[in-house]
Amino acid sequence: MVIIYSIHAQDVIPLTSSNIDETIRQSHLIIINYYASWCRFSQMLEGPYAKAAPKAFEINANTRYGKVNCVAENVLCGNHKVSKYPTLLIYMHGVKLKAEYNGARDTDALVKFVLDRIKLIEADTYNKDIIDSFSRESFIVAHLKETSKDTITMFHQSNSILLGEPKHFIETVTGDESIQFFKNGKESKSVEISTIETPKTLVDLIHKHSENFVLKLTLDNVQSLTERGQYFLILFHNYNDDDVMGHHMIVDYMEMIEVSLLDYTHDYLFLFAESKYFQHPLIHLGLSESDLPFIVLDSFKHLYHCKHKPTDILMNPDLLKNFLDDHNSGKLHRDFHNPPAAPTIQVLTKLKTLYGEVDTNTENKDDEIKPKNSPEEKHEIHPEGDHDDHAKQAVPSSFINLVPSPHYYSINRDRDEL
């Protein structure tokens, strides 16, 4: 099937639910502007974006610029998880890239980004010594004949789409061709080349067999990770490259998440980070290096400190599940804003009846904590230690300034806290 993009191939392509999938599938690289006609930021982008398309096409005819009117195509924009206007998403060889375009909104910047992103990033040559150094990493090895030019190109394209994460290696062979997928240094899958027809097929296999559900948080990727629309669940540590036990713990943590908390990966982005690069959350929570390792949840409104040590969580994953369930239900948020009520007169009277005299003297009435609004919680007794230690260890978000700004986007929906 041949797509007629428009009268001129270099024009911005209007996309709808009837042509977007085929256009994405057939495009080497296409950047798509999801906009709303009423949004002033979308209106400001329209001119520079229209000028960028022919300029990029003139230099590289494989580039495409598209646009979707989210007012007319509300369902389509929802399917592509568009939550703000304008949103510029990039697709290569049919694959939607995880990071969206957040650069300058001028013609030259839009052209430069597309031309830089479309460049082919070749996979590394297989070397056993290098592979040995990846004993705890995820990577892919393609065993290909030198004459398999199309397959080699496809492997390079996959590497370009994923920006080399995980690492791609090519080994030249004379016999059977295959691709091996490794996760945490261990082979997880091997497939014959004949089963892989497109870069998208290969990328899907990589996501399934080599992509870790727990990612390393760095200063380089923190901005792009906020764009995924997931809450941050971060394991902070201070292990150095030579700390074998520390690395083993990270690997064990990754495996525990994959085995026991897979159902939570839709809403939560599981991360680990070296504390020396992210001192602000520690200071924010009043913690120090001596408290490491520990886990925090950043909802992009509040930063919650999980009271359970990672070593305990590895032994009992339910501890982390309960923490996330408390966030999911709104308990952490409620406890932060409404600490548990002090025992009311009704409760104290009942305790006196059951256990004898209870001191009900309150010298300063202004210090009395009023009951919660919820009728169910009004007379609730909170045993000492039962109420959240999470609420006591919650502070404003550390990463809120990295999420999309209302001064740069029109937001079209709200999550609980994100």
Share of the chain above pLDDT 90, in %: 51
Mean pLDDT across 69-76: 95
Q: Rounded to an integer, what distance in angstroms lies between the CA atom of residue 290 and that of residue 15?
A: 54
Indicate the SS3 state at residue 234: strand
Q: How confident is the model at residue 138 (pLDDT cuts 50, 70, 90)?
A: confident
**What's the CA gap between 24 and 64, in Å, rounded?**
9
| pLDDT for residue 384 | 37
Give rounded-to-5 percent helix, strand, coil for the chain. 40, 20, 40
Average pLDDT in the chain: 82
Whether 374 shows a pLDDT value over 50: the answer reads: no
pLDDT at 156: 96
Domains and CATH numbers, the chain: 13-118 (3.40.30.10), 124-210 (3.40.30.10), 215-337 (3.40.30.10)
CA distance 373 to 133: 58
Q: Would you say residue 72 has pLDDT above 90? A: yes
Supply the pLDDT for residue 26: 92
34 Rama sector, left if φ>0, alpha if ψ -120 to 50, beta otherwise = beta
> Could you read off the pLDDT of 318-332 as tens digits, one per residue?
999 999 999 999 899
Q: What is the dihedral of CA 221, 227, 232, 238, to 10 degrees?
A: 10
- For residue 336, what pLDDT is reported? 80
| pLDDT score of 390 | 45
Indicate whether 376 pLDDT > 60: no
Q: Report DSSP state, residue 163.
A: T
Q: Which one-letter amino acid corresponds to residue 242?
A: D
The helices-and-strands tally (H runs, E runs) of the chain is 16, 18
pLDDT of the residue at 219 = 84
**What pLDDT sits at residue 285?**
87
Q: Per residue in 386-409, pLDDT tens?
A: 444 444 467 777 666 665 556 566
Q: Which of 103-112, 224-233, 300-309, 372-381 has the lowest mean pLDDT?
A: 372-381
Helix (H, G, I), strand (E, B) or coil at 178: strand
User: For residue 354, which amino acid is it?
Assistant: L
